[in-house]
A and B are shown apart, each in its own frame.
Chain A
Amino acid sequence: MTENLGAEDRTPELVPLNAVFATDFVQILVPVTTADTMREVAAAVAHHVEGKRVRALPYDKVVIYHGERLPADMTVAAAGIRPLDHIAVEYDVPEES
């Protein structure tokens, strides 16, 4: 039954990701859910690194998946991010800075 539901209507499912945050030195395991937005995904990754190994910067963060910057409000399900996929999270630093 549930396979007929749209991604946004299903119970959130766990999506463990391979993630790297900005200039951090290592890839880490970060669990998110299909319902999480990219804003929440970026925060979940940053939680393990920002201010701990990478100095926090006053900029928004953006999730990069398969080389594409994903909109902050897009969910994991809508982005088609699957368990064990790799994402990078970067600061969205303005060009002139």
Chain B
Amino acid sequence: MALLKREEWQGFVRDVDWSYRYVDDEAVFPEWHSGTGKVPRAAWQAWEESYKVSYPEYVATQREKEAAAYAVKAALQRSSAFESLNEGWKSATKMHFGGIALSEYAAVLAELKMARFGLNGGWRNMAVFGQLDELRHATITTFFGHEFIAKDPQYDWTQKAFQTNDWVAISLRNLFDAMMSSANVVDLALQLPLTFETGFTNLQFVGLAADALASGDVNFANMISSIQTDEARHSQQGGPTLEILVEHDPARAQWVVDKTFWASARAFAALTGPSMDYYTPLEHRKQSYREFMEEWIIDQFVHTIEGYGLKKPWYWDEFMRGLDTWHHGLHMGLWYWRPTLWWRPMAAVSKDERAWLAQKYPTWEQVYGDKWDVIIDNVNAGNMEATLPETLPWLCSTCQLPACIPTQSRNGTWRVRDWQLSYDGRIYHFCTNACRQIFWKDRDSVNHETLVDRFLAGQIQPMDVGGILGYMGLTPDVMGDDPDYPAWTKDYAGRPAEGLATAARP
């Protein structure tokens, strides 16, 4: 018997829908999971992915990818490549492993939800491949990070971070729960595959791969490049979903894309921004974070959404201004609260590094240079106590990141503003106007408590720095510290320094 040609069988294996005899459609695709909303149920019959794949093709391709990634790893395991890596770069990888490994597992559950509740058979089929992809990403990331535990206990946070109450982990769980866990599948397809994967993972997985190679970390570059090759396929669940939603409910489509782009941008400013502009050694930086954002995210995102008939988000000016401030403030916050991290944040503000920052970000010296100068002078004066925190940074009630975004006044000065909201008997604070707006519109579904909320509610005991670190799961062998103070302070040694905190008497 002659085999059917691919195009003859593809249609009916990828789109398996049937008529129910014992239950109605609402029982199979309940609104709270399937989320069709104003879109007529029949409209989803038009859902079609542009690039189709069969299971045998999928398995064959994935097998090759896995074999290649693990072969490179096995070869490098026998070399001394890891030992020669810069501490700053290692921090970028620790941050990635801890922040991403189990986020990938959350994405498995999200894809499974679309595989079950997606409103078209082709979509559900694509989501099955998507969940297999995410399972591979979770395992490969966990496994690659695990290898280094014997060399450095901070790598243990590859598996641990996401399950702790570390504030970075809380922020990421808050992001991904809203994006993946609590969303119906229509919103989910716009949030995860369309906005997050089509756009932002490029930044971490393509942009950072370039920095990894330049830094000599072939293993890491190999791992994230292997992961990225899957994204293009399963991220196409977003396009057909958006197309149908825009036709029937454009306001909902605009809102879901807008808020997810914002939330993703905030998270990547914390995750990728410091890695690119500070942790990657100066000589290995390919582009600034801002340049990466402009090239990989902004042009593509605007082109994509306008292609679907959506507009630029309402916060666009606020977002663009933030490209010069968000990640610099977050870097300073990560560094100052370094005992709360599972990596060793390199301050990276030597004279050469500052010249690079000032060239890439013309306002950097004015906004951040003065603070780093005081920190540098304290380090050079041996007053380390003044460089360590005694209280918590205020965490935004939406993105759960430190509220550290300055804006320029008409008189030229820069100040961190407070965006607040009184709601349901209490006051909430936000880092930005857009975070405030998103909280207000989603106020019934935003329910994670920030670390500050938990502290003030008495959930963290004792109520001091030690209690906070214990609550977050930080132990002395893991707690972050700058790996090389002289690297960025020696340029300034011996200069006169006034206005420093008085060192505690011995």
Contacts and interface: CB of A to CB of B under 8 A. Distances in A.
A25 B332 contact: yes
A56 interface: yes
B361 to A, nearest CB: 14
B301 interface: no
A90 B98 CA distance: 38
Contacts of A16: 456
Interface string B476-506: 0000000000000000000000111110000
A10 interface: no
B29 to A, nearest CB: 42
B415 A29 contact: no
A20 B420 CA distance: 14
Contact of A18 (B386, B389, B418): B418
A23 B462 CA distance: 31
A83 B429 CA distance: 12
Nearest to B428: A84
Given A51-B500, A53-B336, A29 B392 contact: yes
B378 to A, nearest CB: 7
A47 B501 CA distance: 9
A29 B499 contact: no
B402 interface: yes
A27 interface: yes
A54 B503 CA distance: 15
Interface residues of A, number: 27
B50 interface: no
A88 B429 CA distance: 14
Contact of B426 (A27, A84, A86): A84
B394 A29 contact: yes
B370 A86 contact: no
Contact of B499 (A18, A24, A30, A56): A56
Nearest to A90: B415
A83 to B, nearest CB: 8
Interface in B385-435: 386-387, 389-394, 402-404, 406, 413-416, 418, 420, 426-427, 429
B391 A48 contact: yes
A28 B391 contact: yes
Which secondary structure dominates where chain A touches chain B? loop
A20 B413 contact: no
Most buried by A among B392, B415, B416, B427: B416
B145 interface: no
Most buried by B among A24, A26, A84, A85: A26
Contacts of B429: 18, 27, 84, 86
A52 B374 contact: yes
Q: How large is the interface on B (under 10, 10 to 19, 20 to 34, 35 or more residues)?
A: 35 or more
Most buried by A among B391, B393, B455, B500: B391
A27 B502 CA distance: 22
B143 interface: no
Contacts of B368: 25
Contacts of A18: 394, 403, 418, 420, 429
B375 interface: yes
Given A25-B406, A27-B403, A28-B391, A54 B418 contact: no
B462 to A, nearest CB: 14
B416 A27 contact: yes
A7 B179 CA distance: 46
Contacts of B426: 84
A26 B403 contact: yes
A49 B456 CA distance: 21
Interface of B: 329, 332-333, 336, 367-368, 370-371, 373-375, 378, 386-387, 389-394, 402-404, 406, 413-416, 418, 420, 426-427, 429, 452, 455-456, 498-502
What 6 A-B pairs are tightest by C-beta distance, nearest first?
Answer: A51-B501, A55-B499, A27-B394, A56-B499, A26-B404, A86-B418
Given A20-B416, A25-B333, A52-B375, 16 more contacts: A23-B415, A25-B329, A25-B367, A26-B332, A26-B333, A28-B391, A51-B374, A51-B499, A51-B502, A52-B501, A53-B375, A54-B374, A56-B498, A56-B500, A85-B427, A86-B429
22 contacts: A18-B420, A20-B415, A23-B415, A25-B367, A26-B329, A26-B402, A26-B403, A27-B393, A28-B393, A29-B391, A29-B456, A48-B391, A51-B374, A51-B501, A51-B502, A52-B374, A54-B370, A55-B374, A56-B499, A56-B500, A84-B456, A88-B418
